[in-house]
Structure 1
C-alpha cells in the first residue's frame, strides 16, 4: 500500500536538482515552440531523436557505463527511423537557430533529469516513484516561482494580458502534463535510463500516428518506413538487452 514518505530537509535538498532540471527542460521546450511552429518538427526531431545518444554519452561520462556493441548499433535505426517519421510530417521551412538550440538543450536536461531520478531511486533517497513525483512537484513550484515573477515583471501590460489567458486550455494542458509526468516517473522506476530514453523517443512515432488518425493527415512512404525502421531498432535493442542480461547478469547500472 502506498504511503507518503516523511522527508528530512537534507533529503529534500537532494531532490532540488531534479526539480531544477525538470523546470529547465520544460522551459527550453516551450521556448523552442515559440521560436518555430510546432508543425515544423526540426526542433522536435533533434530533441526526441537525440535523447538515446545523450543518454549513452552522459552515462559513460558520469558512471563510466559501457554497453555491448549490438546495443549501440540498435540506437542507429531508432534515431534514424524517428527522424524520418517526424521530418515527413513537417512543412520544412527555415530553421530558427534559437529554437534548435533550445530543443537540444531540453533533450539534454531531460536525460540528466531521468539519470538523476534513477540515481535517487537506486540509492534509497526516496522510497518509490510516486513519492519522488510528489516531492519533486512541490519543489518545482518553488523553483518556478522566480521565473513566473520575472516573466510578469517583463510584461508591458499585465492587466490586458490576464484577460487573454485561455484558462480552460491551460487547465487541460496541466492535467495532460501531470498524467504524462506521473506515467514517465512510474516507468522510470521499473526500467533503466537508456530503456526509458528509447521509450521517450518512440513517443514521436505515436504523435505521428495520432496526427494521421485524428487529423486525417496522409501517411507518406517516408513516414511509414521511418516507423518500421524505428520499431525494428527497438526490437534489436530488446534482443541485445536480453542477450547481454543472460550473458553477464544484472550490474548496478545495467539495462
Structure 2
C-alpha cells in the first residue's frame, strides 16, 4: 500500500485525470482477476441475477470511492489525504450501528474523539489544504466504509447460496466497478490514453507506464488482502487496522516528497493515529465489543 500510494500520486501529478486513472486501476485489476479464474488459481463464482443485484451497489461505491481518493491525491499532499482517511473508524462505527445493529460502547466512542479532533487539527494547519481535496477524502471514507459494512453482510450470508467467499466477492466488485467506470470516464474526461495525447504531454512514456502498472498491481493486491481481512474481523476493527498502515504511508510520503509540516500539523496527525491505537487497546481488552 505504501508503494501504491507514492507511485500513484506521482502518476496523478503527471496526468491529473482521476476518472481515467480509476478506470485504469480497476481495468488492471480485472485483467489479474480474469487470469486468476482462467488459470484456475481460484474457482470462478456462479452468480445469480439476485446476487449481481446485491453486489452492484457495492461496486458503484467501490468505483466512486476510488475516484474520490484519486481526486484528493491529485489536489493535496499524500500525507494529508491519508490523515483525513484516518477518520475511517468514525464512519464505520456509525454505519455498523445502522446496518448491522452493532452498538458501540462509550469507551469506543471516546476513542474516536482524538481521531476526529486530530484530523480537524491537521486540516487547519495543512500547507496543501484545499476544500476539494478534503471533501474528496471524506467522501471516499463514507463510500468505502459503506462498501465494507455491506460487504460484511454478504460475506456472512445466512443461506449458503447467498454467501460468497472474500476473494470472489472482491473480484466481482472489481470487474463491475471497471465496467461502471468506463462510461463515467468517457463522459467526464474523454479518452486521455491515446498515443497522440500522451506524446503531446512530453512525458517519459515508458517510465509513466511502469509506474502506473506498479501502482495498479499494488492497489489490486492491497484491496484483495483487505477483503480477506474483512472476512475475518468486524468492519470497525478492519477500519482501525487499515488506519495503522497509514502511519507508514504518511511518514514515507513526508520523507519521499519532502512535504513541509508544522509542529501543530504533526500534533494533529499524531492525535488521530493515537486514537487508532487507543481503540486497538480497547478492542484487545474487550474482544466482544466492536
**Structure 2 length as normaliser, TM-score?**
0.69
SS of 1:237's partner is helix
Structure 2 counterpart of 1:51: 88
Structure 2 counterpart of 1:170: 212
1:71 aligns with 2:71: no
Structure 2 counterpart of 1:209: 251
Structure 2 counterpart of 1:109: 143
Alpha-carbon distance between aligned partners in 2 of 1:45 and 1:181, rounded to the nearest angstrom: 19
Change (3 A) 1:151 1:51: same
Deviation at 1:153, TM superposition (A): 3.3
Q: Does the 8 Å contact 1:32/1:100 carry over to 2?
A: yes
SS of 1:153's partner is coil
Moved segments of 4+, more than 6 Å: 215-228
Change (3 A) 1:78 1:102: closer
Q: Which stretches in structure 2 are left out of the alignment for 5+ residues?
A: 1-40
Deviation at 1:71, TM superposition (A): 1.4
Alpha-carbon distance between aligned partners in 1 of 2:259 and 2:187, rounded to the nearest angstrom: 40
Aligned residues: 241
SS of 2:190's partner is helix
- Pairwise CA RMSD: 3.4
1:54-78 CA-to-partner distances (Å, cap 9, x unmatched) read 1122223333431111111222334
1:138-166 CA-to-partner distances (Å, cap 9, x unmatched) read 212211121232245376x9553243463
Structure 1 counterpart of 2:127: 92
Deviation at 1:114, TM superposition (A): 0.8
Structure 1 counterpart of 2:9: none
Deviation at 1:30, TM superposition (A): 1.3
Q: Does the 8 Å contact 1:56/1:194 carry over to 2?
A: yes
Alpha-carbon distance between aligned partners in 1 of 2:215 and 2:50, rounded to the nearest angstrom: 33
1:99-124 CA-to-partner distances (Å, cap 9, x unmatched) read 22222111111111111111110115
Change (3 A) 1:38 1:185: same
**Structure 1 length as normaliser, TM-score?**
0.77
Q: Does the 8 Å contact 2:170/2:227 carry over to 1?
A: yes
Alpha-carbon distance between aligned partners in 2 of 1:45 and 1:96, rounded to the nearest angstrom: 14
Q: 2:179 aligns with which of 142, 156, 167?
A: 142
